[in-house]
Amino acid sequence: MRAQVIFFKSKAFVNERFSRELVPLGEQIANKCQGLPLTIVVVARLLSKSKSTEEEWKNVAENMKSRVTKDPAEQCLRVVTSSYHYLPNDLQACLLYLTIFPEDSKISV
């Protein structure tokens, strides 16, 4: 569990602009990621770009409680879906547009 907390901190606290009050919340959130690297990265990057308030981090921690499952694939899907809902509307539309292309296809611009 300690390794995932360190990994989470390296992704969430990239610019070290967070208050010390967020560290225990970050550790709590990292532990809820159940050691899944994709989950840790997605959640940590989401938080690194958030308002960085204790309330915002508590909301993410509470949201993760309802999304925790024993199945790793399901856990990743739930976290990615959750992070999608935190995106601004224009980025949600962009991401949805990209899903129409098959994996590894070239996209003309």
Confidence at residue 6, expressed as pLDDT on a 0 to 100 scale: 64
pLDDT tens-digit profile of 51-84? Answer: 667 888 888 788 776 666 677 778 778 777 877 8
Residue 18, number of CB atoms within 10 A of its CB: 20
Q: Distance between CA 67 and CA 92 in Å, rounded?
A: 20
Name the residue ranges covered by the structural domains of the chain: 2-98
Q: Is the pTM for the entire model greater than 0.75? A: no
Quickly count helices (H) and strands (E) in the chain.
Answer: 6, 0
